[in-house]
Amino acid sequence: MSYEFKMNLFHPVSEGLKERRISNMKKLFLGILVGTLILGTVSIAMAGPFTWREARQQARIYQGVDSGQITQREYQRLEREQGRIEAHRERAWSDGTLTPGETYRLTREQNRASRHIWRAKHNGFHY
């Protein structure tokens, strides 16, 4: 006589609990992931115009230096100005929000810097 011992590894009740537990963990993880992405995107989008504009102004400065339109002294002055604008932007964002007054100030500073770059590139001093 041969006896076969069969072990039932599948129990419908315990498998259902595992599936629900995994499903709940997936939902939780997905919720955290989506929330993080949304918050990250919102903060980048809010800071975007200022950082994008700073990058474009830096590119204009470097192009002027490469072409010889901006002298070393003008370059140093423009770089200092860009550093001040960046410091003001970081200070404005330090509390996590950008007030209308801070937005106005940053925009005004960037407009002024843009004029300074244009003047440095078109003032006739070359090297």
**Is 87 domain-assigned?**
yes
pLDDT of 4 higher than 60: no
**Is 102 domain-assigned?**
yes
58, exposed or middle or buried, with CB in 10 Å at 0-12, 13-18, 19+?
Answer: middle
* Count of domains for the chain: 1
89, exposed or middle or buried, with CB in 10 Å at 0-12, 13-18, 19+?
Answer: buried
**Is 93 domain-assigned?**
yes
Structural domain of 122: 68-127
Per-residue pLDDT averaged across 8-32, rounded?
63
CA angle 44/47/53 to nearest 5° reads 120
48, 98 contact by CB (below 8 A): no
**Is 125 domain-assigned?**
yes
The pLDDT score that the predictor gives to residue 18 is 63
d(Cα 99, Cα 91) in Å, to the nearest integer?
A: 12
**Is 10 domain-assigned?**
no
Q: Tens digits of per-residue pLDDT, 63-112?
A: 999 999 999 999 999 999 999 999 999 999 999 888 999 999 999 999 99
The pLDDT score that the predictor gives to residue 115 is 95
Biggest CA-to-CA distance, the chain: 108
Residue with structure tokens 């609990």? 17
**Is 11 domain-assigned?**
no
**Is 109 domain-assigned?**
yes
**Is 58 domain-assigned?**
no
86, 54 contact by CB (below 8 A): yes
Q: Which regions of the chain does DSSP assign to beta strands (E)?
A: none
> Model pTM greater than 0.75?
no
